[in-house]
């Protein structure tokens, strides 16, 4: 598609785009790296003099969704957009169910595996996305997609199967039991399966609807609030979770900050996709995962074996190759870019 010239004079100076780029990168890196550190701290580090561990994953989901739904509702009201649902409510609810399962598996996995293992395993989400895309949407993928998926799988397997010797003891530096590879990996497989299904499923459910991004986010997260609250009540976890937070002020602060950065990250993701497109966004997100692993290793004293370093190089090398290969594909139209942005926002809600 030919480039269009501005109707209001010459194009903006390159420095303007540079500052926008720095704003996008700083926003995504700050919010999502902080989110990663906080979720590991909440799930793996004890609180208070009694050294108690927070164990109510669904409560974290509930808090995150309340914050996101409130902000998205405010965005709809301030922009004078229609608050009425565009699609049938059950479609938002179906996406919410799989999204809650995805996030719960993510938090629960941190009880059994370290954040670096979890983050690198999450890089393999392209595999279930391809599987679900083939089953649900009848999509066809190129040979290079299967090759990159295979390399990511190999790299993740090496990283998980060859932990550093210091990670094999009975307890970590904070007194929590060391990695239970079988159960932890099972939860991560559940995360990958539900996450891949969510992204494909929502694309199919919302296809054909002229849906504003905040409308989709609001109703999806509102349904998640109702479902997660119901789950907390049925499992008799709501009052214990509130009591734990009330008796550990630092835990309350961590959860409040976690919900805040999770919600703020959606603004920066939306801004990046709209301003620079999906290619730049994918590059930033891959870099963010690498930085998160490095920061977690320093902050929480994780040591990586030589084999794990090799596995990480294979995974991130494959992801960067996949991202830069998109340069050879035709550019998306603005409407396609915006639709991809909506999908990335809902399936990427932490």
**% of the chain surpassing 70 pLDDT:** 83
Q: What is the pLDDT of residues 269-297, one digit of tens each?
A: 878 877 887 667 777 877 888 888 888 88
With H, G, I as helix, E, B as strand and everything else as coil, classify residue 329.
Answer: coil
**pLDDT value at 338 more than 80:** no
180 pLDDT band, cuts 50/70/90, is low
Nearest to 134 by CA among 204, 207, 191, 192: 204
49 pLDDT band, cuts 50/70/90, is confident
Q: What is the pLDDT of residues 122-168, one digit of tens each?
A: 777 778 878 888 887 777 888 888 888 888 888 888 887 777 655 54
**Phi and psi at residue 121, in whole multiples of 5°?**
-65, -35
Assigned token pair, 153: 């799988």
Q: Cα Rg for the chain, rounded, in angstroms?
A: 21
> d(Cα 277, Cα 259) in Å, to the nearest integer?
26
DSSP for 76-111 reads HHHTT---S-SS-HHHHHHHHHHHHHHHHHHHHHTT
Beta bridge partners of 177: 171
Q: Is the CB of residue 219 less than 8 Å from the CB of residue 85?
A: yes
**pLDDT value at 339 more than 70:** no
Query: Between these two residues, 121 and 175, which has the higher pLDDT value?
Result: 121
Query: Between these two residues, 334 and 62, which has the higher pLDDT value?
Result: 62
Question: DSSP code of 7?
Answer: T
**pLDDT value at 116 more than 80:** yes
CA 143, distance to chain mean position in Å, is: 27
């Amino acid at each position: 598609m030919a480039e269009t010239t501005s109707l209001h004079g010459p194009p903006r100076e390159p420095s303007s785009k540079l500052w926008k780029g720095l704003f996008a990168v700083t926003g995504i890196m700050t919010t999502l790296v902080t989110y990663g550190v906080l979720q590991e701290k909440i799930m793996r580090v004890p609180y208070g003099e009694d050294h108690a561990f927070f164990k109510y994953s669904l409560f974290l989901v509930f808090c995150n969704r309340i914050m996101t739904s409130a902000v998205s509702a405010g965005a709809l009201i301030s922009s004078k957009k229609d608050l009425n649902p565009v699609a049938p409510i059950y479609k938002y609810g179906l996406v919410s169910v799989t999204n809650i399962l995805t996030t719960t598996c993510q938090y629960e996995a941190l009880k059994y595996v370290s954040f670096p293992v979890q983050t690198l395993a999450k890089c393999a989400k392209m595999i279930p996305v391809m599987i679900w895309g083939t089953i649900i949407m009848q999509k066809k993928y190129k040979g290079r997609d299967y090759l990159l998926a295979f390399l990511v799988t190999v790299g993740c397997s090496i990283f998980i199967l060859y932990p550093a010797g210091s990670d094999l003891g009975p307890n970590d530096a904070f007194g929590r039991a060391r990695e239970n590879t079988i159960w932890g990996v099972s939860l991560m497989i559940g995360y990958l399966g539900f996450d891949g299904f969510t992204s494909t499923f929502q694309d199919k459910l919302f296809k054909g609807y002229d849906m504003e991004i905040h409308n989709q986010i609001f109703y999806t997260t509102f349904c998640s609030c109702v479902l997660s609250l119901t789950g907390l009540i049925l499992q008799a976890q709501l009052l214990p979770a509130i009591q734990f937070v009330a008796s550990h002020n630092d835990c309350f602060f961590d959860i409040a900050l976690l919900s805040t950065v999770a919600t703020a990250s959606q603004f920066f993701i939306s801004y990046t996709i709209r301003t620079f497109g999906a290619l730049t966004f994918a590059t930033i997100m891959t870099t963010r995962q690498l930085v998160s692993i490095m920061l977690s290793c320093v902050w929480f004293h994780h040591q990586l074996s030589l084999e794990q370093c090799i596995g990480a190089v294979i995974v991130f090398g494959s992801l960067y190759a996949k991202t830069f290969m998109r340069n050879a594909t035709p550019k998306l139209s603005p409407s396609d870019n915006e639709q991809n942005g909506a999908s990335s926002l809902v399936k990427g809600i932490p």
